[in-house]
Structure 1
Amino acid sequence: MAKLILLLCFLGACTVSMANEVTVFKCTIKGVPTFSQTPCAKDAKVITLKNVNIMQTNALQSENALVIDTSVDDYLEVQQIERDIVKLELKIKQYQQEYAQKKQQVGYMTQDKANRLGADSIADAIATETAVLKQRFEPQIKQAQQQITALTQKKQQLNQQP
């Protein structure tokens, strides 16, 4: 009986010491990111995550200490940041396209409309309207670019953490 208990303890210790990393597979199924312990598709992306030492975790929890394993959370946050950056880049592109379209419409200014705007000439009216458009779109584009910069810095910080 004592030999059996000793054998079980030895096998348990070997199992705990071998569990240093966890491999997870990421697949996109019908547009939804899916995580699995086994390959879920032919194009499955392998993700290796650090595993928490169970013995240390139990010891710390018994001392009322908080153990946090943020590797999965960091990975998911980086993925969300990348999606947010893509959305912001699309928003900038939309602003630029809208600005170009409105600027082109302003270029079709007539003398009658220029007179109604109080301009001395069509060129003055076009310059005034273009400046108004620029004041409208430039801050929106700059704000989106600043958000991209902040997200990129946050992403770099998360990627640098061990």
Structure 2
Amino acid sequence: MFRLITPLIGFVALSTHAAQDITVYKCTIKGVATFSQTPCADNAEVIKLKQPMIADKYGNNANSPTMPGASVDNYIEIQRIEREIKRHQLTIKNYKEDLANATQQASYITQDQANRMGAESIADAIATKTATIQNRYNALISAVEQQVSILHQQKQQLSNQP
């Protein structure tokens, strides 16, 4: 009888144990974020996540509050989304720089080039060429900004999930 009760007490103690922190280490190795259960470099960033109780995970405890962002998978996905947002923001910055350079180049139109474009003056040729360049880059920037907006929505949804 004692042999049967001892393992049962151990099982109950393990299954009713309160939620503990999960330690994840974030390291940047050759510019790539790496996550590990053990320190992966000297400059490893320690990230503490709350581990949900087993009863909460399977829905056996309906009264317990959910903890947003508690999932390691959600955290990693949010980090991926943040990297993607930064990449898109860099793309937008590059497009704006390219737009400024192209607009500057458009201002160097000669009378001969203006005549070939069918413009009445150099100013008309510059305005026409600048408008075309701005329309092209504004469309590119708008498309990337929409992607950033979608990524922000995905990040928000993941942040609100347990």
User: Please, what TM-score do these two structures have when normalized by structure 2?
Assistant: 0.80
Name the structure 2 match of 1:127: 127
2:91 counterpart of 1:98: no
Distance 2:7 2:44 in 1: 39
CA-based RMSD of the aligned residues comes to 2.4
What is the identity percentage for the equivalent residue pairs of Structure 1 and Structure 2? 39
Distance 1:141 1:88 in 2: 10
Aligned length: 150
Q: CA deviation at 1:22?
A: 4.6
Distance 1:93 1:144 in 2: 11
Name the structure 2 match of 1:53: 54
Distance 2:28 2:136 in 1: 41
Is residue 26–residue 33 contact of structure 1 (8 Å, CA) maintained in 2? no
Name the structure 2 match of 1:26: 25
2:80 counterpart of 1:80: yes
Q: Structure with the greater relative contact order (CA < 8 A, sep ≥ 6): 1 or 2?
A: 2
Q: CA deviation at 1:25?
A: 1.6
Q: CA deviation at 1:116?
A: 0.9
Gap change, CA 1:127 and 1:56, over 3 Å in 2: closer
Is residue 49–residue 71 contact of structure 2 (8 Å, CA) maintained in 1? no
Q: CA deviation at 1:155?
A: 1.0
Q: CA deviation at 1:50?
A: 2.7
Is residue 109–residue 122 contact of structure 2 (8 Å, CA) maintained in 1? yes
Q: Which runs of 5+ in 2 are unaligned?
A: 61-69
Is residue 26–residue 47 contact of structure 2 (8 Å, CA) maintained in 1? no
| Deviation per residue, 1:11-41 (Å, 9 max, x gap) | 2221222262351322214233333334444
Distance 1:101 1:87 in 2: 21
User: Please, what TM-score do these two structures have when normalized by structure 1?
Assistant: 0.80
Distance 2:147 2:44 in 1: 32
**Runs of 4+ residues over 4 Å off in structure 1:** 54-57
Name the structure 2 match of 1:63: none
| Deviation per residue, 1:113-151 (Å, 9 max, x gap) | 111111111100000000110111111101111111121
Higher helix share: 1
Q: Which runs of 5+ in 1 are unaligned?
A: 60-69
Q: CA deviation at 1:101?
A: 0.7
